[in-house]
Each structure stands twice: as C-alpha cells, then as structure tokens.
C-alpha cells in the first residue's frame, strides 16, 4: 500500500518536473534575447578570442643597436641578436639619443648598447658587459628580449672560451664549456603560446557567464512582467513544490547547453589546434557538475535581476574578475586568503582548474578530484540557495496578490 | 533656437531630472561607483605581491648524493622556488604536475655527482607546466639559472685545480655579461604591467554599459519623449544634460582609481598626474560617445547593451597590453585603432611608465578627443528613435 503511494508521488513529481521543463523550453525558445545568450554567444565569443590570440607567440620584436665598439666581435653579437627568433634589429644608431628617439616613436622596443671597450675587455680576459634597455609596457616583448640576449651572450661567450683552449678535442670543449648540460621541456603548451594558455580558461568561463547572463535575463523578464505566478498557479495539487520548479528549469538549461558545451570544449580547440590531450569523455564527465553548479549559481544570482536588461549591468563585468580569481593568470596559491575563499565559491574557478588539468595537461578526473568534488559541493550548495530564493520570491509574489488559479494562457 | 542663458537653464533642469533618476535606482549606484571601485581594489590586492614567489616545485633526485642534495638546497634558496615535494620517479612528479600541486619539476639523473666529477656531463632536465603561463615562465627562469650556476661551479673547481687565480675565473665562466634594464618597471611587477590598463578597461566597460542603459531605458519605459520635451526638443541639450552627471561621477571614480594606482600603490608615474588625469577624462567622454553611437545605430536596449558588452570585453584583449598588437592578425591590427582603451594604454606607457615628452602622445590624445566628438553626427538619428519610443524586448 505504502509503496504504491510513494510510486504515485514519484510519478506526479516526475511529471511535474517535465511540465516545468517543457514550459521553460517554450519560454526560452520564444525569447530571442535568451537564445542569443544561450546559443549565439557561446558560438561567437570563443571564435573571436581564439582569432585574437591565435598567433600565440611574439616574434621579431623591433630593437636597435648602438654599437660604440665597432669591432668584428661587437658586430657578431648584433648579428646573432638579429638572427634570434625573438628580436629584429631595425636600425643601427649612432648614439643613445638617436636610439631613444626611435623608442619614443615606438619604432623599437629595445636598445642594445655595446660599450667602446667591449672587445678590448674580452681580449684582456676581463668580463665585458653589454647593456640592454627594454620597454616594459608589454611583458611579452621584454620576455623575448631577455631570452634572446641571454642566449646570444652565452653562446658567444662559449665560443670565446673555446678559442682560449687551443687544440682541444670537441669533447674536451663541450666538457669545459658545459660540464652539466641541461634540457628544458615545456609541458602541455610546448611553444609557450599565449592563446594555448588563456583560451581554455576563457572557454570554460564563457559557458558559465552566458548561463549567468541568460538566466538573469529570463528572470528579469519574469519579474518585470509579473509572470512568476505562471510557475505556481495551477500546480496547487502538488503543493507548489519548489524543488520541481528548480529541477525542471535546471534540466531545461542543461539540455540546451549540451550543444554549446560540445562546440566550445571540443570543436573550438580542434579548429585552432589548441592543446587537447585529455580524454574527451573525461572532460564531459567533469563538465557535468560544472554545468549544474553554474546553472544553480546563475539561478541564485538571478534574484538580483529586476529588469531583463540589468542582467548585463550586473554580470558582464564579473567575467573579468572571475577569470582572475580562477588562478589561471595569477597563481592561486599566491592570492590573499580572502580572495581564495571568494574564489572557492565560484564554479568557474574549479571548472577552469579542472578543465586545464584534464584537457591541457591530460589528467584524469582522479587527478583533478579536488575540483570535481568542489563542483558537486557547489552544485548542492547553490541548489539549496536557489530553492530558498525561489521560495522567497513566490512567497512575496503571493503576498502581493497573485495567488489563485489563473487560467494558463499560451502567452508566456 | 534657444539663447545661451535659457539654454543653460534648460540644461540645469535636465541635469536635475537625471540626478533624480540616478539616485532612484540602486543599479546606477552599483555601476557608477561600487563596481568600478570593487574591481579596482580586487585587482590591486590580488596582485599585491607584484610577482609570485616560492612557486611550488618538485625535484626528482635519482642520485641521492651530497652534490644533488646541495643542489636542491641551492634551488630552494631562490626566492622564486619552493621545493614542496621530492617524488621518487618522473611519473610521480608528472602526476603531481597534472594534479596541479606543482608548476614544474627538475630531474637530477643517477650518478649525477660521480659523472660530474669525472667530466662525463650528467644532464639535468627540467619540466615546466606552461599551461600556466606566468608560473611556467618564472620556473623556467629559476631552473635555468640554477643549472647554469651548477655548470659554473664545476668549471670553477676545475680551473682552481689547474692553479688559476680567482679573479681570472669569473671572466672565463661568463665573458659577456648582459646587463638588462627593465625601463620603468625594474621589479618586473606584474600588477604595474597589468592593472594600469586593466582597471581603466573595467571602467570603460562599465561606462559603456551604464550610458547605453540610461539612454535605452528612457525608450523602454516610454519616458524619452518627456525627456526630449524637457530639453526643449534639443537633442544636444538632452544628451549633455543626461551624460554630464555621469561624466563627472565616472571621472571622479576614475581619478580615485588612479590615485590608488599612483598614490597608494606607488606605481611609476614619471610625468606627474596631469597627463594621466586628462587621459582619464578623455577616456570617460570617448566611452560615453561610443555608447551614444551604439544607441544611435541600434536604438534597442538589449542590442545596445550586447554591443557595449562585446566592445568593452574585447577591448581589453585587443588593446594589446597582454598580447602585443604587432603580433596579431592584420584585421585586428587595424581594428585596435578604434578602441579608446588602446590609446589610453599608449598614453599610460608614454606618460606614466616611460615619462617621455608629451609631444609623442599627441596622436593618442587627439584620437581620444575625436572619439569624444564622433557621436555628434549621429545624434539626429538618435533623436528620431527617442521620438518613436519603440521598445524591442
């Protein structure tokens, strides 16, 4: 007897969820604004970002040389600098004033100054310094210059060392110049590309933020046009179960997001050949709680939206903050405690860390289990807050006098 | 036409009307004051350290000798690196890397010490996770420094054993010394490099959104005709009266952000505050002008806000302070010129970071000024839309 009642209740509940699900589909697909957020935005933004960052690396940054030594050796140094992939000599200046002028006019971003006594010192067996001045407005330029000048001076220095050895065998030479050789392997982003590092984070963030904006927009519309009663009137027989509303809506958004997720996490990296060594199914399995957490996160936040369009004002700027708090640019461990705690509460933080761990670094869900668990915790947490928020809104709505069995019309 | 005196009077009534609107809704207070300041403080406190230190690192020591332990101690003494674990194998270290516990690791090969002593060139290899850009680059630097120093120590020992004097040895180790000067930012402070442009970028985004919203909601709520009537049907007075209070507030907030950057955090400011303040004022007005252009082209609140959001978000990437403009594809290289933030960034680099004469920034100031005027030809179109007063959901 009891079991059949339970069965009956489950059936009613399930049907109720499906009812809300279907209703929400109608709402979404009749709302052009929401469709843009759910479908157009996740398709357009990744492509735009990928195109901006697709060149990945900076090559041949313009620089000038002020060669006061004018010896074969100083010319060789300048030539080697020009030959390195990172720098390109655009001019040989007569003095520093001329070089500075070129830098002011942004025709170059670095100046190599070779002092008069450059070769003299070397022949005398003294250390011979060369000066490099780098513009610091763009860190990548500086990084390129630094690597180039370090490598070039080390190589030339090694060559000079060899000359002093006189008659040594190649083996002796390599032993004398580098007794402990080293090799550097850059993992997961072999060319140290800027896009390969930033895009995975942006992709995950786009998923979350488009949900936040779209769900905010829908909620704003409901609030503005006082349509909330559509969600509870006519459902009194199951006591207006809040959980059904929340679940029904969430399933609707979730099912809509399957296509954008596949596109963003699979097709975009494939088109632009971003590092993707993780197992695709692991990624999708990992994204399941991320999507749920983001959906409930968005539904909770949507309580602050009082008008369709304020969704933009409230949430667009947070995208940039969420990107930083995720720890992809500024390492997570080096953040102040306070921001770490805030970051823990944002699904994208764990989404980005986990996605980078699986997609870029080829880990498994087990490797990123911390993020995976946190996403489920956030799913649970935001599910509860969403229920509370909806309960509160419906309570207030009823108090304002929208109670009753309104006839449901097609006008949603 | 209205004469100057009554013009000012009308302007006054429009400004009062706008001030009432601004204080009537919390969303304006949020976008005008709270959001920019929170973003500013968030970014500045997040990167307060300037450069991450003590990056979690692992060392796989397959040698377990005095030399290898000494090497690990030396590595750990770098301010950049903290050796948090010593896995037993490459695989363990790699797994640790994938779990995100470390950003890189170094492998000391078997019989490292013996080979080094015998001159059989044991090879150190280091692995960095460049999926994380800054930690990857910094670790590479630290590992490389230590590896070169290890070589140097051995050569030094050999040369000493050959009976050479100490002062002869250093030039042999490194005959040519590169002396690199990082102009304006010798600490390589990441916050200086990023926040000087990123914070104005956030502000620009909020200006665009708020301006579009304040114009568009007049159409949406059907108050635009009343607004025009109040300004005696003059679109110039209507727009000026509406945007002037916001200009003042945004400029004050922008100046406050600048005072945090250059006053409290002491970021480089070589030519005094005036060039930066004027750049900020021009950036505020140019952004408002862009918002007006967007509303004139598509007088729909939602489309206007979509454009403003897209423009504001993209401008932070396309400005080229993170990824330089010359390295981008040519369409973006051209496109970057129409972004006000691009010109603000160049002014900042010239005036605050490098402190070069104002003359070299003239084009940038001019560009911002022209952006500020760019909306004028489109105002009649906006006026028509305001009179039509049609809301597109």
Residues sharing a CB contact under 8 Å with residue A11, sequence separation 6 or more, in sequence order: none
Are A233 and A14 within 8 A, CB to CB?
A: no
Residue B181 in any domain: the answer is no
> Which residues in chain A are contacts of B210 at CB distance < 8 A?
313
Q: What number of C-beta contacts closer than 8 Å exist between A and B?
A: 320
Residue B178 in any domain: the answer is no
- The pLDDT value recorded for residue B100 is 87
| Token pair 């080979």: residue | B115
Residue B368 in any domain: the answer is yes
* Interface contact A303, partner B, CB < 8 A: no
> Which residues in chain B are contacts of A352 at CB distance < 8 A?
none
B75 & B24 share domain: no
**ipTM score here?**
0.91
User: In this structure, what token pair is assigned to residue B353?
Assistant: 């970071």
CATH code assigned to A61-177: 3.40.1710.10
Q: What value does the mean pLDDT of chain B take?
A: 92
* Interface contact B324, partner A, CB < 8 A: yes
Map residue B169 onto helix, strand or coil: helix
Q: How many angstroms away from the CA of B233 is the closest CA of chain A?
A: 27
B40 & B157 share domain: no
Calculate helix-pair angle for A347-355, A369-397, nearest 10 degrees. 150
Q: How many angstroms away from the CA of A387 is the closest CA of chain B?
A: 25
Answer whether A135 sits within 8 Å of B127, measured CB to CB: no
End-of-domain residue from the set B139, B173, B207: B173
Answer whether B313 sits within 8 Å of A160, measured CB to CB: no
Q: Domain range spanning residue B30?
A: 4-48+187-388
B17 & B72 share domain: no
Q: What is the pLDDT of residues B271-291, one digit of tens each?
A: 999 999 999 999 999 999 999
B90 & B30 share domain: no
> Which residues in chain A are contacts of B96 at CB distance < 8 A?
none
Map residue B355 onto helix, strand or coil: coil
B44 & B72 share domain: no
* Interface contact B29, partner A, CB < 8 A: no
- The pLDDT value recorded for residue B2 is 59
* Interface contact A186, partner B, CB < 8 A: yes
- The pLDDT value recorded for residue A236 is 63
> Which residues in chain B are contacts of A176 at CB distance < 8 A?
155, 158
Answer whether A179 sits within 8 Å of B47, measured CB to CB: no
B229 & B378 share domain: yes
| Token pair 């010192």: residue | A121
* Interface contact A156, partner B, CB < 8 A: yes
Residue B334 in any domain: the answer is yes
* Interface contact B52, partner A, CB < 8 A: yes
Calculate helix-pair angle for B235-258, B379-388, nearest 10 degrees. 110
* Interface contact B356, partner A, CB < 8 A: yes
Are B65 and B112 within 8 A, CB to CB?
A: yes
Are B343 and A159 within 8 A, CB to CB?
A: no
* Interface contact A40, partner B, CB < 8 A: no
Return d(Cα B371, Cα B283) in angstroms, integer. Answer: 9
B69 & B150 share domain: yes
User: In this structure, what token pair is assigned to residue B270?
Assistant: 């070589």
Return d(Cα B22, Cα B108) in angstroms, integer. Answer: 65
- Among B31, B98, B182, select the one facing A313 at the smallest CB separation: B31
- The pLDDT value recorded for residue A411 is 38
Return d(Cα A314, Cα A46) in angstroms, integer. Answer: 22
B79 & B165 share domain: yes
* Interface contact A131, partner B, CB < 8 A: yes
Quick one: which of B261, B316, B103, B137 has its CA closest to A317? B316
Q: How many domains does chain B have?
A: 2
* Interface contact A132, partner B, CB < 8 A: yes
- The pLDDT value recorded for residue B116 is 87
B62: exposed, middle or buried (Cβ count in 10 Å: 0-12, 13-18, 19+): middle
Q: Which of residues 212-251 of B touch A (CB under 8 A)?
A: 213, 216-217, 220
* Interface contact A133, partner B, CB < 8 A: yes
> Which residues in chain A are contacts of B363 at CB distance < 8 A?
none
Q: How many angstroms away from the CA of B258 is the closest CA of chain A?
A: 17
Domain ranges of chain A: 2-54+193-402, 61-177
Answer whether B121 sits within 8 Å of A178, measured CB to CB: yes
End-of-domain residue from the set B127, B148, B173: B173
Answer whether A130 sits within 8 Å of B193, measured CB to CB: no
User: Average pLDDT for residues B138-149, to the nearest whole number?
Assistant: 89
Residue B245 in any domain: the answer is yes
B253 & B133 share domain: no
B38 & B59 share domain: no
End-of-domain residue from the set B140, B173, B206: B173
Quick one: which of B200, B249, B198, B199 has its CA closest to B368? B200
* pLDDT at position B320 over 60: yes
What is the model's pTM? 0.92
How far apart are the two ends of chain B, measured CA to CA in Å?
36
B12 & B89 share domain: no
Q: Is residue A192 left, alpha or beta, with left meaning phi > 0 and alpha meaning psi from -120 to 50?
A: left
Answer whether A368 sits within 8 Å of B128, measured CB to CB: no
- Which H or E run contains B258? helix B235-258
Residue B147 in any domain: the answer is yes
Answer whether B176 sits within 8 Å of A313, measured CB to CB: no
- Among B133, B172, B346, select the one facing A197 at the smallest CB separation: B133
- For position B124, which CATH number holds? 3.40.1710.10
Q: How many angstroms away from the CA of B88 is the closest CA of chain A?
A: 18
Return d(Cα A27, Cα A49) in angstroms, integer. Answer: 30
Return d(Cα B201, Cα B256) in angstroms, integer. Answer: 15
- The pLDDT value recorded for residue B117 is 84
User: In this structure, what token pair is assigned to residue A215?
Assistant: 């769900």
Answer whether A321 sits within 8 Å of B348, measured CB to CB: no
Are B129 and B135 within 8 A, CB to CB?
A: yes
Are B321 and A137 within 8 A, CB to CB?
A: yes
Answer whether A132 sits within 8 Å of B174, measured CB to CB: no
- Among A134, A188, A338, select the one facing B129 at the smallest CB separation: A188
- Among A55, A129, A180, select the one facing B124 at the smallest CB separation: A180
pLDDT mean by block of 10 residues, chain A; 412 residues: 80 87 91 90 92 91 96 95 95 95 94 95 91 93 92 90 80 82 90 90 95 94 82 68 89 94 92 89 94 96 91 93 92 92 95 93 91 96 95 84 48 36
Strand ranges of the sheet holding B81-85, from the earlier edge strand across to the other edge = A182-187, B124-129, B104-108, B55-61, B81-85
B256 & B379 share domain: yes
- The pLDDT value recorded for residue B6 is 87
């Amino acid at each position: 007897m009891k079991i059949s009642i339970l069965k009956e209740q489950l059936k009613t509940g399930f049907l109720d969820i499906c009812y809300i699900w279907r209703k929400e589909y109608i709402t979404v697909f009749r709302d052009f604004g929401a469709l843009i957020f759910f479908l157009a935005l996740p398709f357009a933004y990744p492509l735009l970002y990928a195109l901006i960052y697709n060149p990945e690396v900076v090559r041949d940054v313009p620089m000038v040389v002020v060669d006061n030594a004018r010896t074969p050796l100083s010319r060789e140094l300048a030539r080697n600098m020009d030959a390195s992939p990172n720098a390109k000599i655009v001019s040989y200046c007569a003095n520093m004033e001329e070089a500075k002028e070129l830098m002011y006019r942004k025709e170059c971003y670095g100046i190599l100054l070779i002092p008069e006594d450059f070769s003299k010192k070397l022949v005398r067996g003294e250390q011979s310094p060369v000066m490099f001045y780098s513009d610091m407005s763009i860190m990548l330029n500086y990084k390129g210059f630094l690597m180039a000048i370090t490598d070039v001076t080390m190589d030339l220095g090694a060559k000079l060392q060899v000359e002093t050895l006189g008659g040594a065998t190649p083996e002796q030479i390599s032993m004398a110049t580098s007794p402990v050789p080293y090799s550097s392997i850059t993992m997961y982003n072999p060319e140290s590309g800027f896009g390969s590092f930033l895009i995975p984070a942006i992709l995950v963030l786009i998923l979350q933020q488009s949900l936040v904006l779209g769900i905010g927009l829908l909620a704003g519309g409901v609030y503005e046009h006082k349509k909330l009663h559509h969600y509870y009137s006519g459902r009194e027989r199951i006591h207006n179960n809040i959980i059904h509303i929340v679940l029904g809506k969430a399933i609707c958004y979730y099912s809509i997001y399957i296509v954008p997720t596949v596109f963003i996490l699979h097709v975009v990296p494939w088109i632009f050949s971003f590092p993707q060594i993780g197992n695709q199914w692991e990624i999708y399995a990992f994204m399941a709680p991320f999507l749920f957490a983001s959906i409930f996160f968005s539904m909770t936040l949507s309580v602050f939206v009082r008008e369709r369009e304020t969704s933009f004002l409230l949430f667009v700027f947070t995208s940039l903050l969420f990107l930083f708090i995720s720890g992809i640019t500024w390492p997570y461990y080096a953040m102040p405690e306070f921001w770490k705690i805030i970051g823990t509460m944002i699904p994208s933080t764990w989404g980005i860390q986990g996605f980078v761990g699986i997609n870029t670094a080829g880990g498994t869900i087990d490797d990123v289990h911390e993020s995976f668990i946190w996403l489920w915790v956030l799913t649970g947490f935001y599910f509860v807050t969403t229920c509370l928020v909806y309960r509160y809104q419906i309570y207030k709505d009823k108090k304002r006098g929208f109670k009753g069995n309104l006839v449901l019309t097609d006008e949603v | 036409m209205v004469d100057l005196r009554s013009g000012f009077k009308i302007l006054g009534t429009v400004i009062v009307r706008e001030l009432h609107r601004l204080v009537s809704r919390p969303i304006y207070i949020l976008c005008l004051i709270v959001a920019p300041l929170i973003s500013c403080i968030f970014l500045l406190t997040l990167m307060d350290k300037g450069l991450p230190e003590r990056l979690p690192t692992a060392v796989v020591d397959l040698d377990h000798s005095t030399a290898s332990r000494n090497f690990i101690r030396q590595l750990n003494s770098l301010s950049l690196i903290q050796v948090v674990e010593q896995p037993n194998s490459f695989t363990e270290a790699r797994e640790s890397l994938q779990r995100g516990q470390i950003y890189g690791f170094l492998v000391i090969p078997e019989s490292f010490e013996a080979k080094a002593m015998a001159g059989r060139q044991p090879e150190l290899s280091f692995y960095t996770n460049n999926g994380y850009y800054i930690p990857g680059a910094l670790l590479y630097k630290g590992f490389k420094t230590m590896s070169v120093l290890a070589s140097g120590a051995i050569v030094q020992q050999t040369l000493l054993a050959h009976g050479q004097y100490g002062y002869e040895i250093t030039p042999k180790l490194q005959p040519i010394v590169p002396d690199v000067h990082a102009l304006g930012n010798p600490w390589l402070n990441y916050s200086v490099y990023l926040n000087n442009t990123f914070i104005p970028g956030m502000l620009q985004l909020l200006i665009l959104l708020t301006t579009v919203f304040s114009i568009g909601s007049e159409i949406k709520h059907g108050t635009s005709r009343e607004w025009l009537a109040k300004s005696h049907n003059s679109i110039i007075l209507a727009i000026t009266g509406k945007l002037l209070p916001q200009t003042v507030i945004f400029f004050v907030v922008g100046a406050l952000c600048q005072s945090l950057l250059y006053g409290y955090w002491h970021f480089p400011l070589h030519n005094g505050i005036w060039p930066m303040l004027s750049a900020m004022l021009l950036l505020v007005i140019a952004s408002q002008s862009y918002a007006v252009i967007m509303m004139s082209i598509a007088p729909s609140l939602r489309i206007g806000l979509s454009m403003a959001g897209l423009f504001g978000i993209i401008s932070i990437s396309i400005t080229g302070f993170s990824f330089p403009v010359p390295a981008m594809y040519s369409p973006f290289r051209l496109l970057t010129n129409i972004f006000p933030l691009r010109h603000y960034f160049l002014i900042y680099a010239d005036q605050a970071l490098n402190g070069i004469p104002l003359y070299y920034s003239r084009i940038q100031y001019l560009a911002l000024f022209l952006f500020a005027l760019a909306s004028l030809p489109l105002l009649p179109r906006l006026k028509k839309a305001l009179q039509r007063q049609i809301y597109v959901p």
